[in-house]
Amino acid sequence: MSEDHAPRKVAIICSKGGLDEAYPALILANAARMSGIDAFVFFTFYGLDVITAAKVDHLHVNMAGNPSSPMPTMIAGLPGMERFAAKMMRDRMTELDLPTAREMIEILEGAGAQLYACELAMTMMKVKREELLPQVHDVITAMDFYELAEGAQIIFT
């Protein structure tokens, strides 16, 4: 990179907490860091589940209403189907030797990505700072997000 150019950076917004919805943000942030791109992830609304210690290991896969789901909504909405779908996805990820969501968070921190929680979403969802994973850099506002994201490519997942 020439000295005339600012370092490349990406700001990723993770607003969903499903197992299948969390991984795009985590994988994109990891790929950015592996490519030498500065990266930070802003977790908001249900995306907070991905960085909440009590929830990160129990993320579900919402099959009901998912237009890409191979099963009809009537069946997908039955009790236990989310847990079943999540188990199937976790088993497949284990076969592929993919890290868990918690491990991905640890990998991201080790790679230098910065992880932020949304202050307003935390207030709305009644999540306390001490409930978050220790890898979370800080709790910030939407205005703080824009300050950090200046000059970054913004990706909403």
pLDDT tens-digit map of 79-114 = 888 888 888 889 999 999 999 999 999 999 999 999
Q: What would the mean pLDDT of 148-155 be, rounded to a whole number?
A: 95
Domain contains 44: yes
CATH, residue 25: 3.40.1260.10
Inform me whether the pLDDT recorded for 121 exceeds 70. Answer: yes
Domain contains 75: no
Beta bridge partners of 39: 10
Inform me whether the pLDDT recorded for 73 exceeds 80. Answer: no
List the domain range (segments joined by +) for residue 54: 9-60+101-156
Domain contains 88: no
Neighbours of 38 (CB within 10 A): 18
Please count the residues of the chain: 157
> Which long-range contacts (C-beta less than 8 Å, at least 24 apart) are formed by 122-128?
122/48, 124/45, 125/45, 125/48, 127/48, 127/52
Question: Could you give the number of structural domains in the chain?
Answer: 1
Pick from 5-9, 27-31, 35-39, 135-139: least confident: 5-9
Domain contains 130: yes
Domain contains 106: yes
Domain contains 91: no
Domain contains 56: yes
* Predicted TM-score of the model (pTM): 0.89
